[in-house]
Structure 1
Amino acid sequence: MNTEKTKIHFTDNYLINPTNPITVNLIGAGGTGSKVLTALMEMNHSLIELGHAGLQVRLWDDDIITSANLGRQRFAECETGLYKSVSLVNRANRFSGTSWKAETQKFEKDKFGRLPENAKSTIYITCVDNVQTRFGVAEILKEISYRRNYSRDEPKYWLDFGNSRHTGQVLLSTIGTIKQPNSEKYETVASLPFVTEEFGDLLKQSEQQDNTPSCSLAEALEKQELFINSSLTQMGCSLLWNLFRNGMTEYRGFFHNLKDYRTQPIKVA
């Protein structure tokens, strides 16, 4: 008889019943990030309707909108030349009546090794195509975690999105250890490893790929399929939504292949 318990991660209590909106740092406003922001708008509205305090999002990106971004990303021709983060957040605030914020800079330490202002939040979501940026974010999160002062927006989770032309992955990590309840039914898991720790070697290998900016949409589509970003967004944000709605998860991410329509879940371990 198999008596092995299912491994489960229970959501941090503060996310379930907060007194203030959950702070979210969304890093990257490109093909995936622009769509994740839309999903967070939907999530915020739904949470508020269910009696939750909702989300307070800060979007980080120093890129300017170019013609190559039109069509595949959430930008219009009249927005060419504007900052991606400002354009998206202004639109979100007008649409939803929120007061979300835009940062027209990269989420990274300055030349003196100081953390960026407003770096602290409860949830971090990375939608970046640069491996070095991921490792930089991981370093910042470890430093913030080390400096814990147990305020209401204490860092809890990191959700990372990454993709190549046809494939991608989403991985949920805890920032430190999340206190778990006693359970007779499940084996609770308090810590989920960073993507940079678990898949660091794979990330470094992918760093050799060409990440130069595209000069047109046609050129961009040679590097990434049209719907890889949106399919990752929907599934990845569903994982985050389930943390709020179900208060627990058996899965911490997935590998996704749009070319042959396969998705492989990654279980909590």
Structure 2
Amino acid sequence: MNQEKTKMHFTDNYLLAPTNPITVNLVGAGGTGSKVLTGLMEINESLLALGHTGLQVRLWDDDIVTSANLGRQRFFDCEVGLPKSVALINRINRCTGANWKAETVKFEKDKFGKMPKQSNATITITCVDTVQARFGVAEILTSVNGQRNHVRDSPKYWLDYGNSKHTGQVILSTVGNIVQPESEKYIPVNNLPFVTQEYGELLMQSERDDNTPSCSLAEALEQQDLFINASLAQMGCKLLWSLFRFGMTKYRGLFHNLEDFRTSPILID
């Protein structure tokens, strides 16, 4: 009996056997981003233990820690008033001896259309809460990709997180085409579309459902469930870990509903 082959994306070879740490731009240090950073720390320590060169992360956020961020986001009372990115990166570096970097500005082009400094990274992870920010990141990645022969850290993957009160999604995209090996068992897929191309309407709906920033933790919990960010962060980091650990994935993301504990994987098609 003939069985249809499974579509599979094989990880870019550079991620599997790099000569330098894999550069990662993590955009957003709020409820999801602060927890994704912890996941990246765990991935980094595990990769190093396996003889890999690990990760070099740069965290982007222009916001300041407030009392409303305590509890739901990964901040503490002693950090109120500090830049979010600085507080988180300092903590990671002290705990692990890493030399990860903090940026206290938004990851966006300036008013003259100039690219942000240090915008080149092999992996970009976005934990932002506006459609405009995502389209801005898409534009930056497209621009950098057009110059990929002239930069060291060519962009290869974009992992995007988004959520409302009880639901959310994680979407993996490639920046351009990733060279795939020949396979008799699978159908290799070299391109995973940008989230802004495939799920633009979903993103706009999520933004319409979102509310204004909260002034207290109690108000924040009315807008987003306590564990929606953490559960999404874990599953997205698992997807990223699979790229490194197994060298391939048949999934390109997931939809998650924490209210009724349902998760629907998105297969590569």
Q: Which residue matches 1:58?
A: 58
TM alignment of 1:118-157, pairs within 5 A? 118-149=118-149, 151-157=151-157
Q: Which residue matches 2:176?
A: 176
Partners of 1:96 and 1:19 in 2: how far apart? 21
Alpha-carbon contact 2:24-2:125 (below 8 Å) kept: yes
The normalised TM-score by structure 2 is 0.98
Give the secondary-structure state (helix, strand or coil) at the position aligned to 1:173.
strand
1:256 aligns with 2:256: yes
Q: Which residue matches 2:75?
A: 75
Give the secondary-structure state (helix, strand or coil) at the position aligned to 1:99.
coil
TM alignment of 1:193-212, pairs within 5 A? 193-212=193-212
Alpha-carbon contact 1:15-1:244 (below 8 Å) kept: yes
Partners of 1:238 and 1:151 in 2: how far apart? 28
* Aligned-pair CA distance for 1:207: 3.0
Partners of 1:40 and 1:211 in 2: how far apart? 28
Q: Which residue matches 1:110?
A: 110
Q: Aligned partner of 1:85: which letter?
A: S
Partners of 1:265 and 1:209 in 2: how far apart? 23
Partners of 1:218 and 1:116 in 2: how far apart? 35
Q: Which residue matches 1:3?
A: 3
Q: Which residue matches 2:97?
A: 97
* Aligned-pair CA distance for 1:204: 2.2
Q: Which residue matches 2:12?
A: 12
Partners of 2:247 and 2:206 in 1: how far apart? 34
* Aligned-pair CA distance for 1:83: 0.1
Alpha-carbon contact 1:129-1:211 (below 8 Å) kept: no
Q: Aligned partner of 1:214: which letter?
A: S
Alpha-carbon contact 1:180-1:190 (below 8 Å) kept: yes
Q: Which residue matches 2:221?
A: 221
Q: Aligned partner of 1:163: which letter?
A: N
Partners of 1:191 and 1:101 in 2: how far apart? 30
Q: Aligned partner of 1:186: which letter?
A: Y
Partners of 1:210 and 1:32 in 2: how far apart? 15
Alpha-carbon contact 1:130-1:211 (below 8 Å) kept: no
Deviating 4+ runs (over 6 angstroms): none
Partners of 1:134 and 1:179 in 2: how far apart? 25
Partners of 2:205 and 2:71 in 1: how far apart? 30
Partners of 1:209 and 1:183 in 2: how far apart? 43
* Aligned-pair CA distance for 1:227: 0.3
Q: Which residue matches 2:24?
A: 24
Give the secondary-structure state (helix, strand or coil) at the position aligned to 1:25.
strand
Q: Aligned partner of 1:250: which letter?
A: K
Q: Which residue matches 1:164?
A: 164
Give the secondary-structure state (helix, strand or coil) at the position aligned to 1:149.
helix
Residue deviations 1:98-130, cap 9 Å, x none? 000000000000000010000000000000111
Q: Which residue matches 1:187?
A: 187
Two-structure CA RMSD over aligned residues (Å): 1.0
1:35 aligns with 2:35: yes
Q: Aligned partner of 1:222: which letter?
A: E
* Aligned-pair CA distance for 1:131: 1.3
The normalised TM-score by structure 1 is 0.98
Give the secondary-structure state (helix, strand or coil) at the position aligned to 1:86.
helix
* Aligned-pair CA distance for 1:186: 0.4
Residue deviations 1:203-258, cap 9 Å, x none? 22333334411000000000100000000011110000010000000101100000
Q: Which residue matches 2:87?
A: 87
Q: Aligned partner of 1:105: which letter?
A: V
Q: Which residue matches 2:231?
A: 231
Identity rate of aligned residues, in percent? 72
Structure 2: gaps spanning 5 or more residues: none
Alpha-carbon contact 2:180-2:188 (below 8 Å) kept: yes
